[in-house]
Amino acid sequence: MPTTTLPLILAGAAGKMGREIATLVRADAALELVAALEATGSAALGKPLVDVEHRAGPPVVTALADWALEAMPAGAVVIDFSSPKGLGALAEKFLAVRPLPLVTGTTGLGPDEERLLAELAERSAVLHSPNMSLGVAATRAAAALLARALGPGFDVEIAEIHHTAKKDAPSGTALALARSVLEARGEVSAPVFDRTTRGRPRERGGVGVVALRGGAVVGEHTVYFLGEDERIDLTHRAVSRRVFARGALRAASWLAGRAPGRYSMDDVLRG
């Protein structure tokens, strides 16, 4: 049995990802869930947190506005899968009361949330990733390697598929893959999202990104490297949200005790 446990605070605790994480934490003696947070008005408030295996247990779900941040134990790490608005409120509370290490997988962030994360990173360790899968981190590295190796003679296009309930499109993961390719090739252009109004053949360089939505697809991303006489398809498929929960917990364990600054899943992958 471990002599110490890592205290975890879960924001967006009653959501799909929060419940996945709660299930894994309850099965790991090295981890302890010390607080579960939700937005004001959530039906889960005031009740024991229910995980994906329908087990109800501590802690009781608390509204972020009512959360006693100052009472959290030393060494606690926050894992956030809430919303851009929720993440912004969380960061503002940290900056006003007490910064804690933060792992967040919340996507669709705007300039205000990005600014708050940058400010928070000056005082605590912050890891933001649109996809917590270690496989996706490896896929990004592989995409960059291929982009450098194949050069400008190959066109690059990215297609992603997600379930019908996903709000942002294209996904943050698809955008991160596009950035990896563009940076590897030394390009400063933005991804191309819509070719319907261009009325011309595809130009050299750049990366096209398309988003598909339907069914219950957890997440699928393919990077196509398209040459004159050959093609390479680099695909990552997530078959369960649990892969993101495992990655978030690994990131939290890795982030504990780190110096203030911005970190990524690439850092976790490197160990």
Active-site pick, 162, 163, 167, 236: 162
Cβ neighbours for 257, distance < 8 A, ≥ 6 positions apart: 75
- Whether residue 166 lies in the annotated active site: yes
Active-site pick, 16, 47, 93, 166: 166
pLDDT tens-digit series, residues 221-230: 999 999 999 9
Residue 167 has a pLDDT of: 85
Count of CB atoms situated within 10 Å of the CB of 190: 13
Residue 2 has a pLDDT of: 47
d(CA 62, CA 58): 11
Task: Check: CB of residue 15 under 8 Å from CB of residue 50.
Answer: no
Task: Check: CB of residue 200 under 8 Å from CB of residue 167.
Answer: no
- Whether residue 162 lies in the annotated active site: yes
Question: Does the domain at residues 134-238 carry the CATH identifier 3.30.360.10?
Answer: yes
Task: Check: CB of residue 174 under 8 Å from CB of residue 157.
Answer: no
3-state helix, strand, coil in the chain (%, to 5): 35, 25, 40
3-class secondary structure, 50: strand
Top CATH class of 6-128+242-270 equals alpha beta
pTM for the whole thing?
A: 0.81
134-238 matches 6-128+242-270 in CATH topology:
no
pLDDT tens-digit series, residues 176-232: 999 999 999 999 999 999 888 888 899 899 999 999 999 999 999 999 999 999 999
- Return the domain boundaries, the chain: 6-128+242-270, 134-238
- State the burial class of residue 28 (Cβ atoms within 10 Å of its Cβ: 0-12, 13-18, 19+): middle
Confidence of residue 3 (pLDDT cuts 50, 70, 90): low
pLDDT tens-digit series, residues 142-173: 999 999 999 999 999 999 999 999 988 999 89
- Give strand pairing partners of 127: 103, 263
Report how far apart, in Å, the C-alpha atoms of 78 and of each of 63, 218, 232, 248 are.
Answer: 15, 24, 39, 10
DSSP 8-state class, residue 257: T
